[in-house]
Amino acid sequence: MLKFKNLRSSLLLICLLIVTVISGCSTKMNPTTTTIHNETNVTEKQSSIILSTTTSTENSGLLDFLLPVFSEDTGIEVKVVAVGTGQALKMGEDGEADLLLVHSKTSEEKFVEEGHGIERFDVMYNDFVLVGPKADPLNITKEAPSDILNAFSIIQEKQGIFISRGDDSGTHKVELKLWSDMNIEPTGNWYVSAGQGMGAVLQMADELMGYTLTDRATYLSMKNTLELDIIVEGDKKLFNQYGIIAVNPEKNDKIDLEAAEKFIDWILSQKGQSLIESFGKDIFGQSLFIPNAK
Amino acid sequence: MELQIKQLIKNYENKLTLNIKDLIIPSSTFLGIIGPNGAGKSTLAKIIATLENATSGEILYNSNPFTPQLLNDMTLVFQKPYLLRTTVYNNIAYPLTLRKIDGKEINKRVCEILEEMDIVNLKDQKAWTLSGGEAQKVALARGLIFQPSLLILDEFTANIDPSSMMVLEKTIKRFYTKYSPTIIMVTHNLQQARRLCSHVAFINKGEIEEFGEINEVIFNSKNTATKNFISGEIVL
Amino acid sequence: MREMINGIIGGFKILISLDKEVYEIIFLSLYVSLTSTLLATLVSVPLGIFIGTKKFIFKNAVVRFIYTMMSLPPVIVGLIVFLFISRKGPFGQLGLVFTPTAMIIAQFILVSPIIVGTLYTASKEKGADIKRVAKTLGANKTQTLILLIKELRFSICTGIISGFGRAISEVGAVMIVGGNIKGHTRVMTTTIAMLRNMGDYENAIAIGIVLLILSFVINSFLYHFQ
C-alpha cells in the first residue's frame, strides 16, 4: 500500500526529476554557453554524426567493427540508423542524416543529381546469394548453380516458396529487377512478401523452408542459427556495390559536413579499406565485403 | 421455521467471539437479539443465514440440517443494503425472476408491495440515486417479496431517518401478522425490540445471557449484565 | 508536417478508395484483434471474478503475476510464442508460425491479463456484496454468476475496451509471429512499421489515421453497449 505521505514525496521526486531534465536540456540546446564551447574547442572537437545505412550493413556487424576505430582516430562519434535503402535515402533528403551508406547505385546517383548529396563514392561490394533449405527440394543446385535467372524461373515454375523482402530495400530492388529481367510477375501463394529486414526474412525462409535472396554478409553472420545453404552464387548479376554520400549541408543546419567528409576520407583511405577487407576473415574464413574504393 | 442451535462456537483469529450452548427458536417467533456492540449479535445472524461458517456446532432448520434448498425460503436484510445496478422495480422483482415466476404475477406483487410501503413513485428510479432510507425500503421489499419463512434483520434501521424507520417497522409488523414467519432481528435499540418482538435474547461477550418473552426479560431479569444494559438503555 | 497533412488526407482517401489490398489489411486487423479479445473475454471474465472473490493459496503471488503480465512488452510475448510454435519449437508440428492463428494466440496472451486484472479489481471491491445479496435472495450458483456478470458489466466493458485497444494497436507480437506477409498476415500496425522502414511516411500516417478512426468507431460502439 502506498501511503499518502509516500505518494506525496514520490510526486515531489518526479517533479524534481522533470525539472532537472528540462534544465539539463535547455543548457544543451543553448548554443551561447560559451565556456563549455571554448573548452571543447581547445582540446579536441567532440562532434557526432548520423550515418543512415541499410539493415543488411548493420546486421552484418561491419559497422560495429569499423566505427570504434574511426572514433578513436578522429574523436567523431557516429550514430547509426539502420533502415531500408528507401528510408535511408529519404532521411538524407529530409536532412535527418549527415551521411548515407547504401547499396542502390541508380537511386544514389539520382540522389546526388537532385542535389540532396555532395558526391557519391564507391566503398566496397559484397554479393547476393540465393539461399534455400539444405535439402534443396527444387534441385536448383544441380540445375542452375550459378545462374540466378534460371534459378528464379525454376522457383516460379515449380511454385517453390520464395520469401521476398517486400520492403523497397536495396535487396528487394535487386530481386525485383531479376524477376522483371525474366518477365515474370511474382504473385501467388508461393511468393511471400514479408516487408521486413534481412534478418527477419532469413528466419522466415528457415521457418517456411523457402528460398530467399540475401546479401552474403547477413547470411554468413546468421548461418549457424539457420538451416539454409547457399543455392546460387557467383552470378555477376548478384554483384552489390555500396556507395557513400555526404548529405548536402543546406538541408539542415545541424548537418556536420566537415565530420561527414572526415568519415568518407577515412573509409576510403588505405586503413579503412584494409579494415573492411579483414572484417569477417577470422570467423567466416572469408571477407564479407570486398573494398573497391578508387 | 423452527431453529435449533446446538453448541455453536465461532472463533475469529483464535479469539472466541460466539459460544451458544443451546437455543431453540420456535416457529413464528419474532426474536430480538440485543446486547452491547461487539457482543456477537451480527455474527450469529450471519451464521444462521449461512453467510458465515461456524467453527463448530450446528443449526437445525425445522429439525433438519441446512440444505441449499432452504435459501429459497429465508433472507437477510443488511444494515447497508446492496442494490443491483438497475431500477427499483427490477431490484424488487429480482427474487421472483430467480424463482421463474410468471411476469404478470411479478408485476402484481411488486406493485402491491410498492403501494404498501408507499414508494410507488420510486418504481422506475435507478437504485443508485436513492437516499439511505429509500434504499433500505427497497431492500426490505426485495427481501419480503418472496415471502420467506425465516427473515433475519441485521441492524436494518441503523442510520435511517425516523420517518423511514416507521415505514420499515410497520411493514415488518404487517408481514409478521400476515404470514407468521420466524423473524430474527439484531438491534442495539431496546425500544425497537419492545415495539416489534415477541421474544428477546440478550447476548453479551458471545454468550446468551438471557432468553425469553420480551416483557419477562425486560422487567423480571435476574441477570446483572442484562439489568445494567436495560437500565442504561432506558435512561438513554 | 507536410507528411502529416498529406497523411490525414490520404487516410480518408484510403477509406473511400475501396482498394482491395488495404481492405484486406483492415479486415485482418479487425478479425485478429476482435477474435483474440473475444476469446480472452470468455476466459478472463470468469477467471478475474474467481480470483477477486475466492480465497486460495498463493493468491497474492497470482495477483502480482497478473499485474506484471499487464505490462508485458508485446515483443517479448511475440518472441516467446514464436519460439513455441516455430518449426523447431515444441508445437512446431502444428504449422502455426506466420499464420493469423499465431497472431490471435499472441494477442490473446496480451489481452487476457488486462481483462483478468480489471475484473479482479472490480470483483474484489464489489464481488462479496453481490454474492451475499444473491445468496440471501435465493440465487443458485449459475444465477449468482449471471448476477456477478450483470453487476460487473461496466468493468467487463472497460476490460474489453482496454484489451481490444492493446490488441489493435500492438505491433511487436504480430510482427514476430505473423511475419507481416502481404495478403496473409499483414495488419495495420505492421503495415505502418513497414511503410516507415520504407520511408513512406505519408501512407504510414494514412494507415494510422484509418486505425484511429476504426478504434474510435469500435470504442463508441462498445461504450454504447455499457
Q: Which residues of C touch B150 (CB under 8 A)?
A: none
User: Does A112 score more than 70 pLDDT?
Assistant: yes
Domain match, A87 and A177 both? no
CB B21 within 8 A of CB B209: no
Chains contacting chain A through 3 or more C-beta pairs under 8 A: C
- For chain C, say whether A196 makes contact (Cβ under 8 Å): yes
Q: Which residues of A touch C182 (CB under 8 A)?
A: 166, 192-195
- For chain C, say whether A92 makes contact (Cβ under 8 Å): no
How far from A4 is each of A1, A11, B184, C15, C124, CA to CA, in Å? 9, 10, 43, 49, 22
Average pLDDT, chain B: 90
Which pLDDT value is given to residue A34? 40
Q: Which of A202, A217, A239 is the last residue of a domain?
A: A239
Chains contacting chain C through 3 or more C-beta pairs under 8 A: A, B
Q: Which residues of B touch C143 (CB under 8 A)?
A: 98
Q: Which residue in B85, B58, B206, B161 sits closest to C154, CA to CA? A: B85
Residue A161, domain extent: 127-239
Torsion of CA A147, A150, A153, A158, to 10 degrees: -100
CB B178 within 8 A of CB B116: no
Give the pLDDT band of residue A37 (cuts 50, 70, 90): very low
B31: left (phi over 0), alpha (psi -120 to 50) or beta: beta
Residue C120 located in a structural domain: yes
Q: Read off the CATH number of the domain in which C144 is found.
A: 1.10.3720.10
Q: What is the mean pLDDT of residues C146-155?
A: 92
CB B127 within 8 A of CB B50: no
Q: Which residues of C touch A208 (CB under 8 A)?
A: 97-98
Domains in chain C, number: 1
C139 vs B98: CB contact, 8 Å cut-off? yes
Which pLDDT value is given to residue C11? 76
Query: Poorest-confidence range of A133-137, B26-30, B189-193?
Result: B189-193
User: Does A25 score more than 90 pLDDT?
Assistant: no
Q: Read off the CATH number of the domain in which A104 is found.
A: 3.40.190.10
Of residues C98 and A43, more confidence is placed in: C98
Residue C145 located in a structural domain: yes
d(C-alpha B176, C-alpha C86), whole Å: 71
ipTM of the complex: 0.87
Residue of B nearest to C152 (CA): B85
Domain match, A90 and A137 both? no
Which pLDDT value is given to residue B44? 92
pLDDT-above-70 percentage for chain C = 99
Which pLDDT value is given to residue A46? 64
Q: Give the model confidence (pLDDT) of A83-108 as tens digits.
A: 888 888 988 998 889 999 998 888 89
Question: A164 is written with which cell numbers?
Answer: 521476398
Which pLDDT value is given to residue A16? 52
Domain match, A248 and A233 both? no
As a whole number of Å, the end-to-end CA separation of chain A is 69
Residue of C nearest to B77 (CA): C136
Chains contacting chain B through 3 or more C-beta pairs under 8 A: C
Which pLDDT value is given to residue A86? 83
Domains in chain A, number: 2
Report, in this order, helix, strand and coil percent for chain B, each rounded to 5.
Answer: 45, 25, 30
User: Does C216 score more than 70 pLDDT?
Assistant: yes
Q: Strand B30-34 vs strand B182-186: parallel, antiparallel, or unpaired?
A: parallel
Q: Which residues of A touch C180 (CB under 8 A)?
A: 194-196
d(C-alpha A189, C-alpha A155), whole Å: 12
Domain match, A224 and A97 both? no
Query: Poorest-confidence range of B133-147, B152-166, C209-223?
Result: C209-223
| Stated pTM of the model | 0.76
Which pLDDT value is given to residue A12? 53
pLDDT-above-70 percentage for chain A = 84
| Cα of B106 to nearest chain C Cα, Å | 15
Give the pLDDT band of residue B151 (cuts 50, 70, 90): very high
Q: Which residue in A270, A291, A292 sits closest to A280, CA to CA? A: A291
Give the pLDDT band of residue A122 (cuts 50, 70, 90): very high
Residue A13 located in a structural domain: no
How far from C181 is each of A208, C97, C127, CA to CA, in Å? 12, 11, 45
Domain match, A175 and A149 both? yes
Q: Which residues of C touch A87 (CB under 8 A)?
A: 196-199
C194 vs A206: CB contact, 8 Å cut-off? no
**Which domains are assigned to chain B?**
3-235 (3.40.50.300)
Q: Give the model confidence (pLDDT) of A179-195 as tens digits.
A: 999 999 999 999 999 99
Residue C34, domain extent: 2-13+27-225
CB C59 within 8 A of CB C221: no
DSSP states along chain C: -HHHHHHHHHHHHHHHH--HHHHHHHHHHHHHHHHHHHHHHHHHHHHHHHHHH---TTHHHHHHHHHHHHT--HHHHHHHHHHHHSTTSTTGGG--TTSHHHHHHHHHHHHHHHHHHHHHHHHHHHHHHHHHHHHHTT--HHHHHHHHHHHTHHHHHHHHHHHHHHHHH--HHHHHHHTT-TTTT--HHHHHHHHHHTT-HHHHHHHHHHHHHHHHHHHHHHHHH-
Residue A9 located in a structural domain: no
Q: What is the mean pLDDT of residues A205-221?
A: 91
Residue C19 located in a structural domain: no
Chain A and chain C touch, per 3+ beta carbon pairs within 8 A: yes
| Cα of B184 to nearest chain C Cα, Å | 14
CB B81 within 8 A of CB B136: yes
CB C142 within 8 A of CB C134: no
User: Does C121 score more than 80 pLDDT?
Assistant: yes
- For chain B, say whether C139 makes contact (Cβ under 8 Å): yes
Strand partners, C91: none
d(C-alpha A226, C-alpha C32), whole Å: 29
C151 vs B146: CB contact, 8 Å cut-off? no
Give the pLDDT band of residue B107 (cuts 50, 70, 90): very high
Strand partners, A125: A241, A290
- For chain A, say whether C183 makes contact (Cβ under 8 Å): yes
Which pLDDT value is given to residue B189? 85
CB B74 within 8 A of CB B148: yes
